[in-house]
Amino acid sequence: MNKLLTTLFALAVASVTSLALAQASAPAKPAPAAAPAETAGAKTLEAKTAMCVGCHGIIGYQSSFPEVYKVPKIAGQSAQYITAALGEYKKGERKHPTMRAVATALSDQDMKDIAAYFQGLGQDPNAKLAEKADKQPNEQVAPLLTKAACVSCHGNNFATPIAGYPKIAGQHADYLFVALKSYKMDNNPSMGRSNPVMGAVAKQFSNAELKELAAYVSSLDGDLKTVPEHRFRK
């Protein structure tokens, strides 16, 4: 009996040893690949533009700060300008509580994606604007345009600006007027825009003259639009 138990024990040990040796000599299996980590803060384009269309995607929508005026048309606007403007709101160089809150929540990439989207929104790639403004200024406005040298930055048709400057042809007159006045404000903690070039231009004129300039530029043909987001379309 003892001899039988000894034999069975020896066979069990041999089996376990053989299994261990086989496992040790087998090639190691690669560890299962980890699931790709999602990018922190990743957002769809629709999510990135959601806050924009709530104002800029409604035709005739008005802001009430610092006074009542139509929010600007941004569909068709230069992507470089939109990116720069959002950056200025984020840094506080442009003072507007709503726009500051929106811009603060955006990353640099978010700003670029939003800007690229609105630059192409509602645009006809085959459409071409005249090289010069389609309307001549009257005798009151003409000298103001010369003094301001608007075309040197915004283009002869006010729709082909140099890099970083906005298209302004066809923009809402009341918005242009408020924007121009904001460049005249210094050391105001809640209103104004910090831009030495535009500040120097705007400060040359009375508010009445700025209103005339804004009205003329607004009357010109341009490719700026307000394109309603689908839920705001009638």
Asked if omega into 66 is within 30° of 0 (cis), the reply is: yes
Please tell me the predicted confidence (pLDDT) of residue 26: 45
Is residue 184 over pLDDT 50? yes
Is residue 101 over pLDDT 90? yes
Sign of CA dihedral 126, 130, 134, 140: positive
Is residue 122 over pLDDT 80? yes
Is residue 29 over pLDDT 90? no
Which carries the bigger pLDDT value, residue 86 or residue 33?
86
Which carries the bigger pLDDT value, residue 6 or residue 112?
112
Is residue 2 over pLDDT 90? no
**Angle value at C-alpha 99, between 94 and 105, nearest 5 degrees:** 110
Which 3 state secondary structure label does DSSP give 217? Answer: helix
* H/E element, 192: strand 192-193
* Segment 65-79 mean pLDDT: 97
Angstrom distance (rounded) from CA 61 to CA 6? 95
- Provide the 8-state DSSP code for 14: H
The string of DSSP codes covering 64-101 is -SSS-EEPPP-BT--HHHHHHHHHHHHHTSEE-HHHHH
Q: In which band, very low, low, confident or very high, does the pLDDT at 34 lie, cut at 50, 70 and 90? A: very low
Which 3 state secondary structure label does DSSP give 144? Answer: helix
The fraction of the chain above a pLDDT of 90, given in percent, is 78
Q: In which band, very low, low, confident or very high, does the pLDDT at 89 lie, cut at 50, 70 and 90? A: very high
0.85 exceeded by pTM: no
Please tell me the predicted confidence (pLDDT) of residue 42: 56
Is residue 233 over pLDDT 90? no
**Angle value at C-alpha 193, between 189 and 194, nearest 5 degrees:** 95
Q: In which band, very low, low, confident or very high, does the pLDDT at 229 lie, cut at 50, 70 and 90? A: confident
Please tell me the predicted confidence (pLDDT) of residue 188: 92
Please tell me the predicted confidence (pLDDT) of residue 16: 37
Q: To the nearest 10°, the Cα dihedral for 56, 57, 62, 63?
A: -40
Please tell me the predicted confidence (pLDDT) of residue 231: 57
Closest CA to 161 of 172, 150, 171, 170: 150
Is residue 81 over pLDDT 70? yes
Structure tokens at 226: 């307000």
Is residue 75 over pLDDT 80? yes
* Segment 74-92 mean pLDDT: 98
Which 3 state secondary structure label does DSSP give 63? Answer: strand
The fraction of the chain above a pLDDT of 70, given in percent, is 80
Query: Would you say 193 and 88 are in contact if contact means Cβ atoms under 8 Å apart?
Result: yes
Q: In which band, very low, low, confident or very high, does the pLDDT at 43 lie, cut at 50, 70 and 90? A: confident
